[in-house]
Amino acid sequence: MNVEFYSLLGVILKTEILRVDPVSIDLNKIQKAAKILRDGGLVAFPTETVYGLGADALSPRAVEKIFKVKGRPPDNPLIIHIGDKLELEKLAKNIPQKVEVLIENFWPGPLTIVLQKSSIVPKIVNAGLETVAIRMPSNKIALSLINESKVPIAAPSANISTRPSPTSAKHVINDLNGMIDAIIDGGETNIGVESTVIDLTTTPITLLRPGGVTFEDLQKILGKNNIEKSKYNPDEKIAAAKSPGMKYRHYSPKADVFLVEGKSDRIELKVQEIATNFEKKGYKVGIITINQKHQYQADTVEFIGSDLETIAKNIFKTFRKFDNKDMDIIIMEGVKEKRLGLAIMNRLRKAAKKIIQV
């Protein structure tokens, strides 16, 4: 399946799978992975959000490999992962005071902060921008890997570009086996959507990507008027200047995704109508529902939970599951854009071919 990527690299690697129990971490395996990173290799590892594809952030040659294996456009910058807040001062400059309260409340955890970059950050990491994105993950395996490697780790999600982000090692193996040096298998990730990205170089602070830390929680800590959602429509070119990741198609399964938003009873009717229409034409149709009472008829119907935490955890996994069943069409019900719902809808909108309001 990934033949074109193999040939891009020109080599096929033997990817080592290192199974690590998150409750009793085998330090030998972590040290092995850390050495690979220090030697300029690529290691995929679990974080609390999604699996990351790590390289030594201070080595341009190592970071270049990330872009190659993912097929990632070079103008989409990477997040640098750190294990100690003191690292911030090496990677960023003119750090504003408000960083303190954010770190106190949200680190380690799914919050990425964008600051002015220091001179040690290689251009390739942040796509030549004046800023750098930094986060301290809370996953114990991730923290242990960063600390053992003794280098800051640049890591995007460990999927082929445009594919759904991986929430288990199996997903990483499907996308990147034979292309990277090692994968640490630490089980399923907890949150299931990526970190929240905020830009601290603007006043007020800008929310660039909704994620595991909610906008409401950020408002509570920072003050309501001190943070705002990015005004840029992700599809507009201007977004590129702010957070290049926003302009690309993302998170997509192979099937065409139809997202249906609106009142619950109308959603049920509309989803079934779309499904029936496609099935009549001979397409394989999968439906993802968040309401157990909805009675759908389709090739596959999957209930993925009704609370936002469970939905977030299951969404990328379900996209991949439907791909494995060779669905042509996926119809998905929308959620309210409150709390984690903002991140869920952001991912669904980017995955969708068509959005239907009812």
Mark out the alpha helices in the chain (DSSP H runs). 3-9, 27-38, 60-70, 88-91, 99-106, 140-149, 169-176, 215-222, 239-242, 264-280, 308-324, 340-351
Q: Provide, rounded to whole angstroms, the least separation between the CB of residue 31 and ligand TXA.
A: 21
Q: Is the CB of 29 or the CB of 163 nearer to Mg ion?
A: 163
Element (H, E) at 113: strand 111-117
How far, in whole angstroms, is CA 17 from its chain's centroid?
A: 21
Q: Closer to ligand TXA at the Cβ: 232 or 278?
A: 232
16-19/79-81 β-pairing: unpaired
Least gap, CB of 74 to ligand TXA (angstroms): 12
The number of C-alpha atoms within 13 Å of 106 and in the hemisphere containing its C-beta is 27
Residue of this chain nearest to ligand TXA (CB atom): 245
Q: Which is nearer to ligand TXA, 127 or 301 (CB)?
A: 127
Query: Nearest approach, Cβ of 332 to ligand TXA (angstroms)?
Result: 21
Q: What is the 3-state secondary structure (H, E, C) of 256-300?
A: EEEEEECCHHHHHHHHHHHHHHHHHCCCCEEEEECCCCCCCCCCE
Q: How far is the CB of 14 from ligand TXA (least distance, A)?
A: 23
Nearer to Mg ion, 157 or 189 (CB): 157
**289 contact, one of Mg ion, ligand TXA, none, CB 5-8 Å limit per kind:** none
Give min distance, CB of 99 to ligand TXA, in A.
15
Task: Report the interface residues with Mg ion, using CB under 5 A.
Answer: 157
Q: Please give the Cα distance from 330 to 358 (Å, whole number).
A: 17
Min CB(211)–Mg ion separation in Å: 11
Q: How far is the CB of 175 from Mg ion (least distance, A)?
A: 11
Q: Which of 184, 298 has the CB closer to ligand TXA? A: 184
**Choosing among Mg ion, ligand TXA, none, which partner's interface includes residue 50 (Cβ < 5 to 8 Å by kind)?**
ligand TXA
Instruction: Indicate the residue among 157 and 168 with the shorter CB distance to Mg ion.
Output: 157
- Only one residue has tokens 């139809």, namely 258
126 contact, one of ligand TXA, Mg ion, none, CB 5-8 Å limit per kind: ligand TXA
Please state the separation of Cα 293 from the chain's center in Å. Answer: 30
Q: Which two tokens stand for residue 273?
A: 């109508």
- Positions touching ligand TXA (CB under 6 A) are 47, 49-50, 52, 76-79, 110, 112, 114, 126, 129, 131-133, 155-157, 194-195, 197, 208-209, 243-245
Q: Please return the burial class of 83, using the count of CB atoms within 10 Å of its CB with bins 0-12, 13-18 and 19+.
A: buried
End-to-end CA distance of the chain: 38
196 binds, among Mg ion, ligand TXA, none (CB under 5 to 8 A by kind): none
Query: Can you tell me the distance from the alpha carbon of 108 to that of 103, in angstroms, rounded to the nearest whole number?
Result: 8
Identity of the residue, 285 or 344, whose beta carbon is nearer to Mg ion in the bound complex: 344
Which of ligand TXA, Mg ion, none is residue 59 near (CB under 5 to 8 Å by kind)?
none
